[in-house]
Amino acid sequence: MATSYHRFAGSSLDRLAALSDGVFAVAMTLLVLDLKAPSVPRRAQRPLWSGGGGGSEHVLLHGLLHDVAPRLLPYAMSFLTLGIFWVGQQTQLESFTRSNRALTWIHLTFLLAVTLLPFSTGLLAQDTTYRLSMAVYWMNLLGLGVVLLISLRYADRCGLISDQTTNDMRAALERRIVVYQALYAVAALTCLINTYLAMGLLVALQLNSVIAPRIGPLDRA
């Protein structure tokens, strides 16, 4: 009996991890392209010692404070986001014993959401006071988390998780996704009060995930 193509397609975890590394690297690089150096009028570009360079410095400082600085928070927030989800995906892949066609396409969908993050970041950085921009950014985060959760549950149901991954480890993987997605939703909802408050809370959650201090329920997540 002939073997079906779908029975062996997309079975390499190593190739999937390598593709993921490349996509994350490109997405992280694209984030910085939204940080553009402020332009200084050519006629103002005179050295300070010439006696007229103060205007040039003032224009540059104004551009840094008003054009670049507001974009730094969304940039840092998104870089942390990509780092956290890269670690999360790699942790999942390391817990699997093998892949299959469906699981590979689930992770390709996850990478689709990764490639959208530079866009949602640029939308948010364009005007950090827009609630709709924050909503789009949160939906991007939600998509990342939901696909990772689908991946974990699919792998568990299909017996793709390795024997070294205990039930406690599986529960921890799922709990982390659910808890942080709930916290992200609450943080994003505070944009109804102030969008900077929402971004600040998101960054605080991300820093907690990176530094991992022992803070009660967050430590267990």
Query: For residue 158, which amino acid is it?
Result: C
Instruction: State the average pLDDT over residues 177-181.
Output: 95
Query: Is 94 part of a structural domain of the chain?
Result: yes
pTM: 0.83
Q: What pLDDT, on a 0 to 100 scale, did the predictor assign at position 57?
A: 75
Instruction: List the alpha helices (DSSP H) in the chain.
Output: 13-32, 54-63, 69-95, 101-126, 131-157, 167-189, 195-211, 216-220
Please tell me the distance from the alpha carbon of residue 61 to that of residue 218, in angstroms, as a whole number: 40
Query: Is 45 part of a structural domain of the chain?
Result: no
Q: What pLDDT, on a 0 to 100 scale, did the predictor assign at position 50?
A: 52
Instruction: State the average pLDDT over residues 6-18.
Output: 76
Q: Number of structural domains, the chain?
A: 1
Task: Place 182 in a pLDDT band, splitting at 50, 70 and 90.
Answer: very high
100 vs 10, 11, 144, 160, CA distance in Å? 5, 4, 20, 9
**Chain-centre distance of CA 106, in angstroms?**
17
Q: What pLDDT, on a 0 to 100 scale, did the predictor assign at position 125?
A: 86
For the chain, what's the residue count? 221
Paired tokens of 127 = 């005007």
Q: What pLDDT, on a 0 to 100 scale, did the predictor assign at position 63?
A: 60
Query: Is 41 part of a structural domain of the chain?
Result: no
Query: Is 44 part of a structural domain of the chain?
Result: no
175 versus 127: the higher-pLDDT residue is: 175
**What are the pLDDT digits (tens) for 65-99?**
666 666 788 888 999 999 999 999 999 999 999 98
**What are the pLDDT digits (tens) for 119-130?**
999 999 888 889
Report whether pLDDT(12) > 60: yes
Report whether pLDDT(43) > 60: no
Paired tokens of 51 = 């006696």
Query: Is 149 part of a structural domain of the chain?
Result: yes
**What are the pLDDT digits (tens) for 185-203?**
999 999 999 999 999 999 9
Please tell me the distance from the alpha carbon of residue 221 to that of residue 209, in angstroms, as a whole number: 9
Query: For residue 22, which amino acid is it?
Result: G
Query: Is 146 part of a structural domain of the chain?
Result: yes
Q: Which domain holds residue 173?
A: 12-33+69-220
Q: What pLDDT, on a 0 to 100 scale, did the predictor assign at position 54?
A: 53
Return the percent helix, strand and coil in the chain, to nearest 5. Answer: 80, 0, 20
Q: What DSSP character marks residue 185?
A: H
Query: Is 1 part of a structural domain of the chain?
Result: no
Query: Is 202 part of a structural domain of the chain?
Result: yes
107 three-state secondary structure: helix
Please tell me the distance from the alpha carbon of residue 87 to that of residue 108, in angstroms, as a whole number: 16
166 three-state secondary structure: coil
